[in-house]
Structure 1
Amino acid sequence: MPYPYVAPPFTAAIEVDPDLGNSADSSYASSGYDTSAGSLNNTVNDYVFENGRRYHVYFGADKNFLPTDEREQDRMDLHHEILLRLLNDELHTAPLKDPEYILDVGTGTGIWAIDMAERHPNATVLGIDLSPIQPSWVPQNCKFDVDDIEKPWTFPDDTFDFIHFRNLNQGISRWGVVLREAFRCLKPGGYVEIAETRVGMYSDDGTMADDNAAKVFCEKLAEALAITGRPVPKQGDLDNMLLTAGFVDITPRNVKHPWGPWPKEKRLKEVGMMMLLQGETAFSSYGMAAFTRILGYSTEEAQKFCDEAYASTKNKNCHMHSIHYIAYGRKPETDGEGTMDDCSEEQEMEYGG
């Protein structure tokens, strides 16, 4: 496969539901949609409270700019359900066959690892994260541990059949190092899958203005992440990261998250409603620490960006969506099947190597 790899184009445009209308009243409430949330002692436990949110600090306050409080845990679990709907109830896109050992990197609340353990009762599923926020009552074949994946991994070579990463870009600045460790710890023939929701807002039909508050929010967040050495992934980045790390049979997939119940298709309409619900806390989760710590905004200024961004997603006349990138690759069965490239300085910088 030649480098750089160019991913295929995005999926088709999402069809708008004409029944929502295009009236001067831009609120979803006028169409009968309730968009409120109501409609739906160890040092490792050290936290800091900032801007009304709780952040984990055991591995350093700047390791991850997202909070770990109950509101964020609820949001992450809701986004997990959103992705299940978008992926037709599949937990991954890699073609797994009877995996024995599965690693979920950045497991968060552990919901993906728990679901995988239930679907693969003969497999052992390990979830690792910076924060010990996972439940204690889990399937017997599911375990959790606290660790920093940017440090050398302690797993032996050729341990796992599948390694899963999802929505970790805001917490990883050395992707090249992390993926080389993943390559080492995968069994020959094993798969790695990376999934990232891009920080950005888009519209297929031109109904989103350039000064849309959610679009502006995403542009500012992308600016902040770039300063920290964690640039927002763009089309083809995940594929090229896997290619550079030595994986073969790289397969990308992109899905769209509509914001609001404007799509005509029932499944996407439900996803749109769920996106509005998780958006009630998502903008502050992603924005507050990044805007105040990195960009230097006051708490009041940062909160205004978050509030205005969320309000703009509830405009039924604006058909915006965000993009979720997915790519998986396979570790070669033999030394001759594929080779690991040495990252150039430019690639190291671009991909956080």
Structure 2
Amino acid sequence: MVEETTTTNNVPPNIEVDTSYENDSSYGDVQSFYTASLTSSILEYRHENGRRYHKYRDGSYLLPNDESENDRLDMLHELCLLVLEERLYLAPIENPQRVIDLGTGTGTWAIDFADQHPEAEVIGCDLSPIQPTLVPPNVKFLVDDIESEWVYGNGQFDFIHARYLAASIKEYGKLIRRCYRSVKPGGWVEFQDWDGYPISLDGSLNGTKLLRYYDETLGAFEEAGYEVRPGVKLEQWFKDTGFINIYTERFPIPYGVWPKHPHLRKLGAWNQAQAEVNGYEAGALAVLTRYKQWTTEEVMVLANEARLDGRKHDIHMIFNFYVVYGQRPEN
């Protein structure tokens, strides 16, 4: 059984522009932490173009792991909570005992889930040890490459969660098959991810330097073998893997405060805020300098041009964010 909907939060399907609103919103501060007892080799980092990157499995993840990026990830967490109306997940899980969060990043989702489900053992895994040390007693963080062979064993988890792995994973379908094997019969797997390419319903994005940024950056990720549009493919991957009771929901998320609807305007403000925290540079620096031979200066110019375009009230950019969950059959 597959359920699907493309509406969200009781907002109108067509996003109306508020022509009276100025794009001058301010943004709050976000907290970021560091973490876990790990070996010294894992705690080493790669420094490049003024940013810090993971050293463990060097080069497999092309975004930074420094404080600026951690702030941005925490802002994305707040954005996702707004999108899902303060819910961490949509899957109908009951009494989960063992849970894993793939690509946990700063660990915020895993920590929040552990607080909500004190009965559950929660594991957060990531390539970088950037999570806090003060965490609930039922959560632990592991440094692991989720695209390598898993050591967790089959049928180990009641719930497997992954969020915004776009441009991070090369074999996304294979990852979902691993999740199928690792979740218990009757257990649930939920992925929340982007279609990395933005759109505009009125064509206002066409021909802009903002669109050039995404074409250049995401095109480079694709040439390097990374999946940048997983959101639109998740449902089919779940079907092909054998999940049942699949549910799909698409959430349109604006960029900027141009929407008239107050909820969409708030989403747009948060979306713009996370990008303004050096998000443009974070997304483009490694992939363009390592794979396309751009200079650091060229990338910075591209990022700044995109940022300035993003502040224009007459450019109405939208991203689609997908939540898909499915259940492993009891048999």
Q: Indicate whether the TM-score tops 0.5.
A: yes
Unaligned runs of 5+ in 2: 32-38
Q: Which residue of 2 aligns with 1:52?
A: 50
1:10 to 1:217, Cα distance in 2 relative to 1, 3 A: farther
Q: Does structure 2 retain, via aligned residues, the 8 Å contact 1:213–1:308?
A: yes
1:242 correspondence with 2:238: yes
What's the CA shift string for 1:269-304, capped at 9, x where partnerless?
222222222111111111111111112211111111
Query: Please, which of 293, 296, 311 is the counterpart of residue 314 of structure 1?
Result: 311
Q: Distance in 2 between matches of 1:176 and 1:236?
A: 13
- Tell me which amino acid in the other structure corresponds to 1:28: N
Cα displacement (A) at 1:6: 11
Q: Does structure 2 retain, via aligned residues, the 8 Å contact 1:28–1:34?
A: no
1:16 correspondence with 2:11: no
Q: Distance in 1 between matches of 2:253 and 2:306?
A: 16
Q: Which residue of 1 aligns with 2:270?
A: 274
- Tell me which amino acid in the other structure corresponds to 2:122: V
1:225 to 1:6, Cα distance in 2 relative to 1, 3 A: farther
- Tell me which amino acid in the other structure corresponds to 2:160: I
Cα displacement (A) at 1:148: 1.0
- Give the SS at the match of 1:325: strand
1:292 to 1:275, Cα distance in 2 relative to 1, 3 A: same
Query: Please, which of 94, 97, 103 is the counterpart of residue 94 of structure 2?
Result: 97
Q: Distance in 2 between matches of 1:115 and 1:155?
A: 22
- Tell me which amino acid in the other structure corresponds to 1:130: L
TM-score normalised per structure 2: 0.90
TM-score normalised per structure 1: 0.85
Q: Which residue of 2 aligns with 1:343?
A: none
What's the CA shift string for 1:38-76, capped at 9, x where partnerless?
79971101111111110112112x210000000000000
Unaligned runs of 5+ in 1: 21-26, 335-353
Q: Distance in 2 between matches of 1:225 and 1:87?
A: 28
Cα displacement (A) at 1:84: 0.4
Cα displacement (A) at 1:235: 6.1
Q: State the superposition RMSD in angstroms.
A: 2.2
What's the CA shift string for 1:315-349, capped at 9, x where partnerless?
11222111112211110111xxxxxxxxxxxxxxx
1:235 to 1:171, Cα distance in 2 relative to 1, 3 A: closer
* Identity score, percent: 36
Q: Distance in 1 between matches of 2:5 and 2:186?
A: 24
Structure number, greater radius of gyration: 1
Query: Please, which of 215, 220, 224 is the counterpart of residue 224 of structure 1?
Result: 220
Q: Does structure 1 retain, via aligned residues, the 8 Å contact 2:217–2:287?
A: yes
Superposition pairs of residues 1-353 of structure 1, within 5 angstroms: 12-20=13-21, 28-29=23-24, 33-34=25-26, 42-60=40-58, 62-208=59-205, 210-233=206-229, 236-280=232-276, 281-334=278-331
